[in-house]
């Protein structure tokens, strides 16, 4: 169960499949577009951190120069799948080796039949190297086969151009291109080499020095039944990585040219072998779940920056235009647990990105009149807020919708601190906590202490006018998730402060030179902790999601079935806001993150209440995995239905937007659903324990986690 296979090519599913067949190596990702191109494709390569300015969304990952192209001419006929006849087609993504293969037979308009096999990989062993190979076998003709391949700077982001040409060169051994992003001035240089081998034949090489598209062409005569093998080596560096990207990409190319496909692929395969060694989850008894879980883990792994602590993972990873590469709480709350427990070095990089971006968060807090650090809801290269303020209304495309999340979805500041704490608890990485993590936790605590408003009349602190995780409801007061996480952030900061002062005084002094902490602040923190309003009805045990939620209109979701749209699309933004319907778990999300706050009976009462009111099918893609975990905790048999919804999010395009990119949070949530839901992994005073809730048919879940540097193996089997 390692292969994602597509047996027929349907141009209507083109964008969805480009997302599914994305390959990557944590440095870049390339969507699964065809080497030879196809009309209306959304071919794209995104590199971590390579952002450029864009209208409305402020900044976006710039689609990088195209490295993939292979233009093929078969006895003078141009190979393209929108012409001629496709006689057979199979596309396979081998998750184990991160290799994409397309095997097809094509009859040209003039009746020439050819068997073509394309393979590509973005090396995990050498992250600046990508390779593509094509084998071409004429089946019923002999003639000249020519392949042209270059580096195309003529790329855009859905029509917006991000690259200025700087220089290029074409030699027998290589073609190279140097470009720069228009506004952010990030230099990218790439180099490539092309070869063709036909046994017993000489191949001919031509240089094609077209402006902004340096290329090479190789050709050879070939007889029916013989095979031509074409190889393209590709290297690239940016000024984010090195001082002289051009020199480095050309030098790297010459180094890799000493090796052939088999050697370079073997190093890549080995790197993936060790990756899976640490991260695989074995599920027995459910092939669909097994494949989907591996596919989602693969998506996390190809998006994970291994050598860069200045980047985060966008909500749509590096696999599409959705959310333009911006990062949300999706990383810290949904994806990060996978990395913390299997690849802590990657988790450290991701959390370091937040630490590096403290200046942006401080700016945001200051601009809003608050202390400390207020993290942006959407974050990109610099850590400034990049949530668009207005976006075109998808319903009519002419009116505009005000997006409030960047202004008032504030829980992300506590989410980041929470993730840092989880990382620390699981790794014991003291240097990270002392040098970076503590600063974030203290600065976000400062933010909360100033964001909470004192209500004189009621003698309590409140956090008003916000959006909680459930985005169907905006401008609400005292969202319990936000208030409870803010309180947790303050309490944790208080404990951390004492620990730093008492046990790490020199680290504290160093840190204090940066944050200039005033002891008087502690009084305020304590006051806020004691008086922050956290709604709870001890009689019913129901937790009101925010003040006035229970007064909103209750909707029987079953009565809306069958439907193909979200409740928000059916009722409108205002209409959904007036109901009790949730876009995604909110109170339950809190109970998942801070389980000690509530007893089991409270969990059961709230699970029953909110489960019935959540837009599971068409609400947020972040919901189903968490709902599955909470269903396990509530012993609800519906857990599998939620799980499989998350498992299919991208593979089956259940929300009809997979073409925009992988739902990274859903991928991370899926891992959590298996580990913390079905396997029931929990950290107790006796250490890590499992409390399995295996779905029907599942006979085994096996996985590893790392705890304080030690690998722990779990093998959960169904008792018969
Ligand atoms: O962060 C999420 C949010 O919770 C729901 N809307 C989409 C965002 C990005 O995935």
Tens of pLDDT, residues 444-498: 999 999 999 999 999 999 999 999 999 999 999 999 999 999 999 999 999 999 9
* Mutate-to-test residue for ligand 1 from 330, 409, 618, highest number of ligand atoms within 8 A of CB: 330
Residue minimizing CA distance to atom 4 of ligand 1: 469
Percent of the chain, pLDDT > 90? Answer: 98
Mutate to test the pocket of ligand 1, among 620, 623, 650 (most ligand atoms within 8 A of CB): 620
Residue nearest atom 7 in ligand 1 by C-alpha distance = 620
CB 526 within 8 A of CB 494: yes
Decide if 53 is inside a domain: yes
Cα 623 to middle of ligand 1, angstroms:
10
Q: Which tokens go with 692? A: 């399995």
Tell me the CA–centroid distance for residue 583 and ligand 1, in Å: 10
Residues 6+ apart with CB under 8 A from 496: 438, 441, 442
Residue that is written with structure tokens 């499989």 in the block? 644
- Cβ neighbours for 719, distance < 8 A, ≥ 6 positions apart: none
Q: Considering only CA atoms, which residue is closest to atom 9 of ligand 1?
A: 315
Closest ligand 1 atom, residue 328 Cα: 1
Q: What's the confidence (pLDDT) of residue 484?
A: 98
Inter-axis angle of helices 480-503 and 438-451, nearest 10 = 130
- Calculate how far, in angstroms, residue 217's C-alpha sits from the geometric centre of ligand 1: 45
Residues 633-689 have pLDDT tens digits of 999 999 999 999 999 999 999 999 999 999 999 999 999 999 999 999 999 999 999
In a domain, 561, yes or no: no
Domain span at residue 35 reads: 3-257
pLDDT of residue 659: 98
Q: What's the number of domains the chain is made of?
A: 1
Q: What is the mean pLDDT of residues 69-87?
A: 98
Ligand 1 atom nearest to 469, measured from its CA: 4
583 CA: nearest ligand 1 atom: 5
Give the mean pLDDT of 382-400: 91
**What's the rounded mean pLDDT across residues 585-604?**
98
Is the pTM above the cut of 0.95?
yes
In what helix (H) or strand (E) does residue 716 lie, and over which residues does it extend? strand 710-717
The pLDDT of 190-195, averaged and rounded, is 98
Atom of ligand 1 nearest to the CA of 663: 10
Q: Is the pLDDT of residue 167 over 90?
A: yes
Take atom 6 of ligand 1 and give the residue whose Cα is closest. Answer: 620
Task: Find the 392 Cα to ligand 1 centroid distance in Å.
Answer: 18
Residue 607 lies in a domain: no
3-state secondary structure of 553: strand
Quick one: average pLDDT of 403-411?
98
Q: Please check whether residue 33 lies inside any domain of the structure.
A: yes
Q: Whose CA is nearest to atom 5 of ligand 1?
A: 620
Exposure string for 444-455, b = 16+ CB within 10 A, e = fewer: bbbbbbbbbeee
Distance set, CA 48 to CA 28, 252, 299, 308, 517 (Å):
6, 20, 15, 9, 34
Residue nearest to atom 10 of ligand 1 (CA): 315
Question: 590-597, long-range: CB within 8 Å, 24+ apart, which pairs?
Answer: 590/480, 590/481, 590/484, 590/485, 590/543, 591/630, 592/626, 592/629, 592/630, 592/633, 593/333, 593/418, 593/485, 594/484, 594/485, 594/488, 597/484
Distance 637 CA to ligand 1 centre (A): 27
Residue 21 falls within a domain, yes or no?
Answer: yes
Can you tell me the mean pLDDT for 222-249? 98
Confidence of residue 426 (pLDDT cuts 50, 70, 90): very high
pLDDT-based confidence at residue 172 (cuts at 50, 70, 90): confident
Structural domain contains residue 209: yes
pLDDT at 104 over 80: yes
Instruction: Name every protein residue with a CB atom under 6 angstroms from any ligand 1 atom.
Output: 315, 323, 328-330, 469, 471, 620, 622, 665
622 Cα nearest atom in ligand 1: 4
CA pair distance 152, 64, nearest whole angstrom:
9
Of 377, 412, 665, which is best to mutate to test ligand 1, by the most ligand atoms within 8 angstroms of its C-beta? Answer: 665
175-181/99-107 β-pairing: unpaired
556-584 residue pLDDT tens: 999 999 999 999 999 999 999 999 999 99
Beta pairing partners, 684: 687
Say whether 288 is catalytic.
Answer: no
What's the whole-number mean pLDDT along residues 298-308?
98
Of the candidates 343, 302, 296, 295, the residue with the CA atom closest to the CA atom of residue 319: 302
pLDDT at 211: 97
pLDDT of residue 341: 98
Instruction: Out of 60, 187, 471, 544, pick the active-site residue.
Output: 471
Calculate how far, in angstroms, residue 622's C-alpha sits from the geometric centre of ligand 1.
7
Residue 119 forms part of a structural domain: yes
Atom of ligand 1 nearest to the CA of 323: 9
Instruction: Give residues with Cβ within 8 angstroms of 34, minimum separation 6.
Output: 41, 43, 81, 102, 118
CA atoms within 13 A on the CB side of 70: 33
* pLDDT digits 0-9 by tens, 324-343: 999 999 999 999 999 999 99
Q: How far apart are the CA of 591 and the centre of ligand 1, in A? A: 19
Residue 335 CA to ligand 1 center (angstroms) comes to: 13
Residue 720 confidence (pLDDT) above 80: no
Q: What's 173's domain CATH number?
A: 2.70.98.40
| Tokens found for residue 185 | 């001035």
| DSSP-derived secondary structure for 384-396 | S----SEEE-TTT
**Does some domain include residue 19?**
yes
């Amino acid at each position: 169960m390692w292969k994602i296979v597509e047996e027929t090519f349907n141009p209507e599913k083109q964008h969805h499949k480009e997302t599914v067949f994305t390959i990557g190596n944590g440095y870049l990702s390339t969507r699964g577009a065809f080497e030879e191109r196809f009309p209306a494709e959304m071919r794209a390569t995104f590199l971590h951190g390579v952002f450029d300015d864009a209208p409305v969304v402020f900044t976006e990952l710039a689609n990088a120069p195209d490295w993939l192209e292979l233009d093929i001419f078969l006895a003078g006929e141009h190979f393209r799948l929108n012409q001629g006849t496709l006689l057979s087609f199979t596309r396979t993504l081998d998750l184990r080796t991160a290799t994409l293969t397309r095997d097809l037979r094509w009859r040209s308009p003039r009746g020439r039949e050819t068997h073509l096999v394309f393979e590509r990989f973005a090396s995990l062993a050498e992250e600046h190297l990508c390779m593509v190979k094509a084998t071409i076998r004429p089946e019923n003709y002999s003639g000249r086969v020519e392949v042209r391949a270059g580096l195309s700077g003529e790329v855009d982001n859905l029509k917006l151009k991000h690259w200025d040409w700087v220089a290029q060169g074409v030699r027998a051994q290589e073609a190279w291109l140097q470009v720069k992003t228009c506004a952010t001035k990030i230099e990218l240089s790439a180099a490539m080499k092309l070869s063709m081998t036909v046994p017993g034949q000489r191949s001919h090489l031509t240089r094609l020095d077209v402006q902004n598209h340096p290329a090479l062409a190789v050709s050879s005569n070939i007889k029916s039944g013989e095979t031509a093998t074409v190889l393209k080596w590709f290297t690239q560096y940016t000024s984010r990585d090195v001082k002289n990207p051009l020199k480095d990409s050309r030098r790297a190319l010459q180094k890799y040219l000493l090796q052939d496909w088999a050697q370079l692929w073997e190093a890549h395969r080995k790197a993936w072998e060790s990756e899976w060694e640490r991260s695989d989850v074995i599920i027995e008894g459910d092939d669909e779940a097994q494949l989907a879980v591996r596919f989602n883990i693969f998506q996390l792994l190809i998006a994970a920056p291994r050598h860069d602590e200045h980047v985060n993972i966008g909500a749509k990873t590096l696999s599409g235009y959705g959310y333009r590469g911006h990062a949300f709480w999706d990383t810290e709350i949904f994806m990060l647990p996978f990395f913390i427990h299997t690849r802590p070095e990657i988790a450290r990089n991701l959390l370091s990105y937040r630490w590096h971006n403290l200046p942006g968060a401080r700016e945001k807090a200051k601009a809003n009149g608050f202390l400390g650090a207020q993290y942006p809801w959407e974050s990109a290269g610099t850590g400034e807020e990049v949530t668009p303020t207005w976006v075109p209304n998808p319903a009519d495309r002419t009116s505009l919708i005000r997006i409030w999340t960047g202004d008032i979805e504030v829980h992300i500041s506590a989410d980041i601190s929470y993730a840092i704490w989880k990382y620390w608890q699981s790794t014991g990485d003291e240097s990270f906590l002392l040098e970076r993590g503590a600063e974030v936790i203290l600065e976000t605590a400062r933010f909360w202490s100033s964001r909470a408003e004192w209500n004189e009349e009621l003698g309590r602190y409140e956090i008003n006018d916000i959006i909680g995780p459930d985005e169907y409801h905006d401008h609400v007061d005292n969202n319990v998730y936000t208030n409870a996480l803010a309180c947790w952030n303050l309490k944790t900061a208080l404990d951390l402060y004492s620990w730093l002062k008492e046990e790490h005084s020199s680290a504290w002094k160093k840190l204090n030179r940066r944050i200039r902490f005033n002891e008087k602040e502690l009084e305020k923190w304590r006051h806020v902790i004691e008086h922050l309003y956290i709604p709870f009805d001890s009689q019913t045990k129901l937790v009101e999601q925010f003040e006035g939620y229970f007064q909103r209109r209750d909707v029987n979701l079953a009565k809306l079935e069958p439907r193909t749209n979200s409740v928000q699309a059916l009722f409108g933004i205002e209409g959904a806001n007036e109901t009790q319907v949730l876009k995604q778990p909110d109170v339950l999300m809190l109970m998942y993150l801070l389980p000690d706050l509530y007893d089991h009976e409270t969990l059961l009462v709230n699970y029953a209440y909110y489960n019935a009111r959540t837009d599971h099918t068409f609400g947020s893609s972040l919901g189903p995995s968490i709902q599955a975990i909470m269903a396990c905790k509530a012993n609800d048999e519906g857990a599998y239905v939620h799980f499989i919804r998350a498992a299919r999010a991208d593979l089956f395009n259940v929300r009809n937007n997979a073409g925009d990119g992988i739902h990274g949070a859903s991928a991370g949530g899926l891992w959590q659903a298996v580990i913390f839901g079905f396997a029931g992994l929990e950290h107790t005073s006796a250490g890590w324990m499992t409390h399995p809730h295996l779905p029907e048919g599942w006979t085994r879940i096996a996985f590893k986690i790392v705890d304080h540097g030690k690998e722990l193996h779990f093998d959960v089997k169904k008792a018969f």
